[in-house]
Amino acid sequence: MANHVPVPQISPVMATYSRFPVTIVKGKGSYVWDDKGASYLDFTSGIATCNLGHVPDQVKAKLEEQLQNLWHCSNLYHIPNQQELAALLTANSCGDQVFFCNSGAEANEAAIKLARRYASKVKGNPSPVVVTFKQSFHGRTLATLTATGQEKIQQGFSPLMPGFQHLPFNDTEELYQLYTIKPAAVLLELVQGEGGVIPAELEWVQRLAEICKENDILLMVDEIQTGMGRTGTLFAYEQYGIEPDVISVAKGLGSGFPIGAVIAKEEAAKGFEPGSHGSTFGGNPLATAAGVATITQMTKTNLLEHVREMATHLDQQLQSLKEKFSIIEDVRGKGLLKGLVVKGNALEIVQKAIANQLLILTAGQNIVRILPPLTVTKVEIDEFTNKLDETIQSIEKGE
């Protein structure tokens, strides 16, 4: 009788992620716990999503209240939480109207659709072009990965969508191509997160905004990662002295609950009308309850002042590590979105940090990305510094 050969077990979850060997089952504040009871200092915030920390009390209370009343309602009817959140977003931005969806990719997809339809229906341009920038990241739908200025994100998904062109980031001379391209819209990140934690230069952004205004080009800012207080103001664009026509937000808007939004000025919002765009779950009662509680906490407290204070302390600690370790070449970023430029492979540092019960991320091959919750304390930043110090020491020793 032949020996029975066991059939390898295949995970029912598609292999779209290279997962770290940690199973997280609980979170609170700046910490998470795995299925074995070990705690980790989480300086990823779910990739800039749990901005108020894990399971913030104010958002939890709002969600529990909403769970007792209504989970879902079609957008064919008025939804009070949606109206309230839209009012909060427009009151705290330069926008006038909001479209709700479920994620950052969907928000950028909606922004691109809005730009195209505005160009077509309002401006009479049947073949609008959207300009984005090299090393950008705007999502993983077919439109947003085409908008993304990274070939590695686009590989295997050809044919890509037409109607996009990419210019170099932070290159003022190259901006003059906009006069030739004559795009309907420009879409940019003010800190390229996935592209290496690269902040946009002030003068470059202001010149870009001037060109857009002079040539009736919609200026669209992707605030998926930089929005909701991450850089020290509610939106990063506030620090650049500009007013975008369209702002896309997600991640931190729901404190970990899936939600995205497009905030547009009244003129740009004319691109949409009933039936032109929609979402079954976008702006549902639960998601917008989380959003209302989140933005209320951010705007009605001194949280943004706290972010700026903690960002200064974190930067000081990172600079001290740079002076200590030759492996660290540079510290960059804005607010509580920081990047360490390192020699060699950043993934090795991230993997070794897990053994020290510290969670951090990469942003490209040689960038360590650091994203603590906005509620982080100086004590927690010092704990992070000690853990990262130990991690780099172990690498230098070849352990």
Residue 203 lies in a domain: yes
Residue 171 near residue 177, CB atoms below 8 Å: no
65 contact partners, CB below 8 Å, separation of at least 6: 289
160 contact partners, CB below 8 Å, separation of at least 6: 142, 145, 146, 154
Q: What local confidence, expressed as pLDDT, does residue 8 receive?
A: 65
Q: Which residue has the tokens 């922004």?
A: 111
Number of domains making up the chain = 1
> Which CATH number fits the domain that encloses residue 158?
3.40.640.10
What is the residue-wise DSSP string for 172-208?
TGGGGGHHHH--SEEEEESEETTTTSEEPPHHHHHHH
Q: What local confidence, expressed as pLDDT, does residue 398 receive?
A: 79
Quick one: pLDDT band at residue 373, thresholds 50, 70, 90?
Answer: very high
Q: Which residue has the tokens 């609950």?
A: 257
Q: 345 vs 119, 144, 304, 328, 351, CA distance in Å? A: 44, 27, 33, 11, 11
Helix H or strand E segment including 267: helix 266-269
Q: In the numeric block, which tokens belong to residue 28? A: 């609170």
Quick one: pLDDT band at residue 10, thresholds 50, 70, 90?
Answer: confident
Nearest residue to 260 (alpha-carbon basis) of 98, 88, 104: 104
Determine phi and psi for 46, rounding to 5 degrees: 60, 35
Stretch 4-12: mean pLDDT: 74
- Other C-beta atoms closer than 10 Å to the C-beta of 33 total 16
Residue 129 near residue 184, CB atoms below 8 Å: yes
Residue 124 lies in a domain: yes
How far apart (Å, rounded) are the C-alpha atoms in residues 163 and 185? 11
Residue 146 clears pLDDT 50, i.e. is over it: yes
Quick one: pLDDT band at residue 4, thresholds 50, 70, 90?
Answer: low
Residue 297 clears pLDDT 50, i.e. is over it: yes
pLDDT per position as a tens digit, 64-76: 999 999 999 999 9
Q: What local confidence, expressed as pLDDT, does residue 6 receive?
A: 66
Q: Which domain holds residue 87?
A: 57-299
Q: Which amino acid is at 23?
A: T
Residue 304 lies in a domain: no
pLDDT per position as a tens digit, 201-221: 999 999 999 999 999 999 999
Residue 166 lies in a domain: yes
Q: Which residue has the tokens 């957008």?
A: 75
Residue 200 clears pLDDT 80, i.e. is over it: yes
5 or 81: which leads in pLDDT? 81
Quick one: pLDDT band at residue 303, thresholds 50, 70, 90?
Answer: very high
pTM recorded for the entire structure: 0.95
Residue 215 lies in a domain: yes
Residue 191 lies in a domain: yes
Stretch 341-358: mean pLDDT: 96
pLDDT per position as a tens digit, 171-186: 999 999 999 999 999 9
State the maximum Cα–Cα separation within the chain, in Å, rounded to a whole number.
Answer: 82
Residue 197 lies in a domain: yes
Pairing mode of beta strands 130-133, 164-167:
parallel
Stretch 328-355: mean pLDDT: 97
- Provide the mean pLDDT of the chain: 96
pLDDT per position as a tens digit, 238-295: 999 999 999 999 999 999 999 999 999 999 999 999 999 999 999 999 999 999 999 9
How far apart (Å, rounded) are the C-alpha atoms in residues 173 and 186? 16
Q: How far apart are the first and last CA of the chain?
A: 48
Residue 147 lies in a domain: yes
Stretch 316-345: mean pLDDT: 97
Quick one: pLDDT band at residue 1, thresholds 50, 70, 90?
Answer: very low
Residue 7 clears pLDDT 80, i.e. is over it: no
